[in-house]
Amino acid sequence: MRRWRLAAGVAVAIAAASVATVIAQPANAETAAFTVTGSWSNGYQGQVEVRNNTSSTINTWRVQLTLPAGTTIVNSWSATQSASGSTWTFTPAGWNGTLAAGASTSFGFIASGTGRPTSCSVNGASCDGSSGPTTPPVTTPPTTPPTTPPTGTTPVAQNGQLRVCGVKLCNAAGKAIQLRGMSTHGLQWFADCYNDASLDALADDWKADLLRVSMYVQEGGYETNPAGFTAQVNNLVEEATQRGLYSIIDFHTLTPGDPNYNLARAKTFFAEVSARHASKNNVIYEIANEPNGVSWAGIKSYAEQVIPVIRANDPDAVVIVGSRGWSSLGVSEGATSSEITANPVNASNIMYAFHFYAASHKDNYRAEVQRAAASLPLFVTEFGTVTYTGGGQVDLASTATWLDLLDRLQIGYANWTYSDADESSAAFRPGTCGGPTYAGTGVLTESGTYLRSRIRTADNF
CB 130 within 8 A of CB 74: no
Rounded to an integer, what distance in angstroms lies between the CA atom of residue 3 and that of residue 29?
13
One-letter identity of residue 220:
G
Between the CA of residue 425 and those of 212, 364, 382, 383, 391, what are the distances in Å? Answer: 16, 22, 11, 9, 6
Query: How many helices and strands, by DSSP H and E, does the chain display?
Result: 11, 23
In sequence order, the β-bridge partners of residue 49 are 13, 106
Q: Which of 272, 290, 339, 423 is catalytic?
A: 290
- Burial of 281 (C-beta count, 10 Å sphere; 0-12/13-18/19+): middle
Active site residue 290: yes
**265 Cβ neighbours under 8 A, 6+ residues apart:** 217, 222, 223, 226
Rounded to an integer, what distance in angstroms lies between the CA atom of residue 260 and that of residue 265?
10
- Burial of 364 (C-beta count, 10 Å sphere; 0-12/13-18/19+): exposed
CB 179 within 8 A of CB 246: yes
Active site residue 30: no
CA 174 centroid distance within chain: 14
Rounded to an integer, what distance in angstroms lies between the CA atom of residue 424 and that of residue 390?
7
64, 69, 71, 76 alpha-carbon torsion, rounded to 10°: 30
Rounded to an integer, what distance in angstroms lies between the CA atom of residue 447 and that of residue 249?
23
Rounded to an integer, what distance in angstroms lies between the CA atom of residue 132 and that of residue 115?
20
Rounded to an integer, what distance in angstroms lies between the CA atom of residue 402 and that of residue 438?
26
The helix (H) or strand (E) run that includes residue 264 is helix 263-277
Task: Give me Rg for the CA atoms of the chain.
Answer: 23
Q: Which of 30, 239, 286, 382 is catalytic?
A: 382
Rounded to an integer, what distance in angstroms lies between the CA atom of residue 146 and that of residue 263?
39
Q: Would you please indicate which residues are annotated as catalytic (active-site) residues? A: 290, 382
